[in-house]
């Protein structure tokens, strides 16, 4: 099964309490994502939060590594930026595709909201 590995980097923080709170929040959100299952959401199969570097002051850079479902066409932003939703010959958007995507996004968001989750992105 093809997968994508996402890496989100977090720089070391001088205030250890602030870092601990940030780490707990990140792990909670990753766990929440891993528990969601809907055809209009990208699946998260596994995640790990681990140090990647340590400075002389003892501060570490950390990375959240997430193994996710691979989207064969890339991100929605990538599809929009590529012009695939635009009929270049007619100089108009391909409305059937746009409406389908909007419906898919709405269904995914409805699922998230039905689980009492607020999406911040």
Q: How does pLDDT run across 56-88, given as a tens digit for each residue?
A: 666 567 889 999 999 988 999 999 999 999 998
Task: Give the separation between CA 109 and CA 117, rounded to whole angstroms.
Answer: 9
What does the alpha-carbon distance between residue 26 and residue 13 come to, in Å, rounded to a whole number? 14
pLDDT at 97: 95
Class of domain 1-72: alpha beta
pLDDT in tens, 6-51: 998 877 654 565 667 778 888 899 999 999 999 999 999 999 988 8
CB atoms within 10 A of CB 101: 16
| Residue extents of the structural domains in the chain | 1-72, 73-121
For the chain, counts of helices (H) and of strands (E): 3, 5
The Cα–Cα gap between 51 and 62 comes to: 4
DSSP secondary structure string, 16-66? HHHHHHHHHHHHHHHHHHHT---TTS--EEEEEEEEEEE-TTS-EEEEEEE
The CB-side HSE value for 74 (13 A sphere, CA atoms) comes to 7
Q: Report pLDDT for 107.
A: 98
Its pTM surpasses 0.85? no
């Amino acid at each position: 099964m093809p997968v994508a590995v996402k890496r989100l980097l977090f720089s070391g923080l001088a205030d250890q309490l602030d870092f601990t709170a940030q780490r707990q929040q990140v792990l909670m959100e990753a766990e929440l994502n891993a528990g969601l299952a809907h055809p209009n959401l990208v699946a998260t199969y596994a995640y790990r939060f681990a140090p990647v570097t340590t400075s002389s002051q003892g501060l570490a850079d950390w990375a959240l590594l997430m193994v996710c479902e691979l989207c064969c066409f890339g991100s929605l932003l990538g599809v929009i930026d590529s012009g695939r939703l635009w009929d270049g010959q007619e100089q108009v958007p391909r409305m059937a595709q746009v409406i389908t995507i909007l419906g898919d996004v709405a269904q995914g968001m409805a699922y998230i909201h039905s689980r009492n989750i607020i999406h911040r992105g």
